[in-house]
Amino acid sequence: MNRKAFLQQLAWLTAGTATAPSLIKILTSEGPFYKIRNNLGYFSMRGGTIGWMTTGESIVVVDSQYEETASEFLDGITTYGSGPSRVLFNTHHHGDHVSGNRAFANQSYRIIAHKNVPDLQRLQAEERGTLDEMELAETTFENQYSISAGDETVTAKYYGRAHTSGDSVIWFENANTAHMGDLIFNRLYPFIDRDGGASIAGWIELLETVAAEGDSDTVYIFGHGSPEFGVTGNREDLLYMRDFLSKLLEHTKSEIDEGKSREEIIQTTSFEQFPDHVSPSDFLSLPRNLDVAYRELKEDY
């Protein structure tokens, strides 16, 4: 991914409001559709990475970005397949992963998400005054939900609180590929949505479990990634992020134990063990992460 694409992908995070910046089509020779394996790939334009898979009869999509980019996606995916069975999974409720849902619903996609997602999405949309534009998942599940698509079995799994309290990993069994949603910010300081139910401790455990469920050949698709490291990777990338989150929590705990105040703790802007982490804005920065870690350790939730 080039730098311009990267900045556009992250534009929602820096905007801080529901007002989406106007869409500029990314004219690169390499996108926005990328193939991984078995007629499965990803689409990267603006917002969280979309995953897709087609068979003779089905299209399975993971996340919907924004209305405009969802339309671009829906136009382009016909090159790869146009099956009558159409399913959209939402990995979680954040605006850059679900704001294109309506465009998918209009093309008869069935939308599936963890049971906490619709309420979180409604709450977020009410705060932003965008409820009218939102389409919520009509099929929800508590622990896991599987569908068959051609020879492929696709399973959405919930592992507990992590980036939010409604994150799923979407596994494509035969293709040995998993879409992580925002459970991976690849070499970026992550958004940890504590108000949306996030738990750093839970997130660490999740990454360990999901890395163990894959093997050395598993491809993971990430919601966001730095320009250098991109939005796909392997289980080593999951364990690298686990190590970052462990460091975040341990560092904050030792600072608290030394008697430092919140204000002092959030002065640190980088860890020398993680030199490749990128901070595109204050919103995605180590001070923000430390602040959330501080709250998680101090508050009783």
Query: Which residues sit at the interface with Zn ion, rule CB under 5 A?
Result: 94, 182
Q: State in angstroms the smallest separation of the CB of 113 from Zn ion.
A: 13
Query: Considering beta carbons, is residue 182 or 291 the nearer one to Zn ion?
Result: 182
CB 171 within 8 A of CB 210: no
Other C-beta atoms closer than 10 Å to the C-beta of 290 total 22
Query: Considering beta carbons, is residue 94 or 187 the nearer one to Zn ion?
Result: 94
Q: State in angstroms the smallest separation of the CB of 161 from Zn ion.
A: 13
Other C-beta atoms closer than 10 Å to the C-beta of 28 total 12
Query: Considering beta carbons, is residue 96 or 135 the nearer one to Zn ion?
Result: 96
Query: Considering beta carbons, is residue 94 or 242 the nearer one to Zn ion?
Result: 94
Distances (CA, A) of 36 to 1, 65, 79, 188, 216: 15, 19, 16, 22, 15
**What secondary structure letter does DSSP report for 61?**
E
CB 223 within 8 A of CB 97: yes
Q: State in angstroms the smallest separation of the CB of 194 from Zn ion.
A: 12
Q: How far is CA 108 from the centre of its chain?
A: 23
Cis amide bond preceding 32, omega within 30: yes
Please state, in angstroms and rounded to a whole number, the distance separating the CA atoms of residues 84 and 75. 15
| Angle between helix 286-298 and 200-213 (nearest 10) | 110
- Token representation of residue 87: 């399913």
Q: State in angstroms the smallest separation of the CB of 215 from Zn ion.
A: 27
Other C-beta atoms closer than 10 Å to the C-beta of 157 total 20
Query: Considering beta carbons, is residue 55 or 226 the nearer one to Zn ion?
Result: 226
**Owner of token pair 């401790």:** 201
Q: Which of 289, 197, 194 is nearest to 241 (CA)?
A: 289
Q: State in angstroms the smallest separation of the CB of 263 from Zn ion.
A: 27
Distances (CA, A) of 193 to 166, 176, 201: 11, 29, 13
Q: Is 252 helix (H, G, I), strand (E, B) or coil?
A: helix
Query: Considering beta carbons, is residue 175 or 284 the nearer one to Zn ion?
Result: 284
Contacts of 56 (CB under 8 A, 6+ apart): 81, 83, 150
Q: State in angstroms the smallest separation of the CB of 10 from Zn ion.
A: 12
Query: Considering beta carbons, is residue 94 or 114 the nearer one to Zn ion?
Result: 94
Q: State in angstroms the smallest separation of the CB of 272 from Zn ion.
A: 27
Q: State in angstroms the smallest separation of the CB of 262 from Zn ion.
A: 24
Query: Considering beta carbons, is residue 41 or 95 the nearer one to Zn ion?
Result: 95
